[in-house]
Amino acid sequence: MNDINFECTECGKCCHDLRLALTIAEAVAWLARGGKMEVICEAIPWPVEPEPGNAQAGYKRARSSPAMSGSLPVRISIVLAAAFNGACPNLRADMRCGIYEQRPLVCRIYPAEINPFVELVPENKACPSEAWQNKPLQRQGIFVDATTVEQIEQSRRANQLEAPLRMQVCLELGLTTAALANEGFVMYSPDSEALLSALRRIHATAQSQEAAQWTFVSNRAETVETLLSVGATGHLAEPTAAGNFRYHGFFAPS
Ligand code: SF4
Ligand code: SF4
């Protein structure tokens, strides 16, 4: 793995057109400030538990919640995402963050990767070429800065610990349709007040739930047929967004 240097130029490019994955406390703060959020859901068919040594499956398992789709066991991965097109509502005219001391963890960690199975590739980041110099960021694949390492750990821990709470929020709001993982996402844009109130409620009353019923949605007929053939429930996505629901497929409809 290449050694990587980095020093932020404060260009503000990474603060535009984003879906920022937030912890529950961050989501409450974001909504309380008037920000918009989306709830992004994908479902992973999980008919059997993976081998204990399968680290990648273990990582996915820890960040998702068990559910059923028809008779098919699935795991639901849910992201609470601050959503904005154009500049972040907190970005000041001088390209500084207006909530710098309270900015989300994910903003503090950028451009480092949180997922240990995703390699940091400078070309995939918004940062200009002149940012990739000066200070050591990564040596032999390991982040050098202790604060960044701690923040990544904090983010992974929160993601894991809060998985059942994110499921509870979805059930409270009646959001039980998900895309097939690696084929697309379902993006819900719930009413901000309703989401805020659900987040506050579940924060106070965290509890484990029965495995809920979820439904797959896909823009590909063969995916729906395959899912139905293994006992899942599913249907084709409407070609246009409806209400607070949007399907974003990675592949052309078929
Ligand atoms: S919260 Fe601050 S750092 Fe994060 S995207 Fe918005 S302006 Fe940028
Ligand atoms: S895009 Fe990179 S260099 Fe520019 S403000 Fe964001 S982190 Fe800093």
Between residues 120 and 209, the one the model is more confident about: 120
In the reported structure, the alpha carbon of residue 94 is separated from the centroid of ligand 2 by a whole-number distance in angstroms of 13
Report the nearest-CA residue for atom 5 of ligand 1.
Answer: 15
Q: How many CB atoms lie within 10 A of CB 113?
A: 17
Report the nearest-CA residue for atom 2 of ligand 2.
Answer: 127
- The answer to the question of residue 233 being in a domain is yes
Cis peptide preceding 190, ω within 30 of 0? no
In the reported structure, the alpha carbon of residue 10 is separated from the centroid of ligand 2 by a whole-number distance in angstroms of 5
Ligand 2 touching residue 131 (CB < 6 A): yes
Over residues 102-118, mean pLDDT = 96
Rounded CA-CA distance 49/58 in Å is 9
**Greatest distance between any 2 Cα atoms in the chain:** 55
- The answer to the question of residue 254 being in a domain is no
Query: What element of type H or E holds 178?
Result: strand 177-180
- The answer to the question of residue 10 being in a domain is yes
- To test the ligand 1 pocket, which listed residue (99, 106, 109) has its Cβ within 8 A of the most ligand atoms? 99
Ligand 2 touching residue 13 (CB < 6 A): yes
Q: Residue 241 pLDDT > 90, yes or no?
A: no
In the reported structure, the alpha carbon of residue 89 is separated from the centroid of ligand 1 by a whole-number distance in angstroms of 8
Over residues 49-73, mean pLDDT = 95
Q: Half-sphere exposure of 137 toward its Cβ, with a 13 Å CA cutoff?
A: 19
Beta strand pairing status for 37-45 and 234-236?
A: unpaired
Which pLDDT score, from 0 to 100, does residue 243 have? Answer: 73
Residue 17 Ramachandran class (φ > 0 left, ψ -120 to 50 alpha, else beta): left
The mean pLDDT of the chain is 94
User: In total, how many domains does the chain have?
Assistant: 1
Which pLDDT score, from 0 to 100, does residue 205 have? Answer: 61
Q: Hey, is 64 helix, strand or coil?
A: coil
Strand positions, DSSP E, 46-91 = 65-69, 72-87
Q: Which domain holds residue 110?
A: 4-249
- The answer to the question of residue 190 being in a domain is yes
238 phi/psi in degrees, rounded to 5: -65, 145
Portion of the chain with pLDDT greater than 90, in percent: 89
Cβ atoms of 216 and 232 within 8 Å: the answer is yes
Which pLDDT score, from 0 to 100, does residue 1 have? Answer: 62
Which pLDDT score, from 0 to 100, does residue 211 have? Answer: 86
The structure tokens listed for 28 are 């409450």
In the reported structure, the alpha carbon of residue 196 is separated from the centroid of ligand 1 by a whole-number distance in angstroms of 20
> Which tens digits make up the pLDDT trace of 154-206?
999 999 999 999 999 999 999 999 999 999 999 999 999 999 999 999 866 65
Strand partners, 92: none
Q: Which residues line ligand 1 (CB under 6 A)?
A: 15, 88, 90-91, 97, 99, 103-104, 107
| Class of residue 196 by CB neighbours under 10 A (exposed 0-12, middle 13-18, buried 19+) | middle
Query: What element of type H or E holds 184?
Result: strand 184-188
Atom of ligand 1 nearest to the CA of 20: 5
- Per DSSP, the residues of 235-246 read EEPPSS-BTTEE
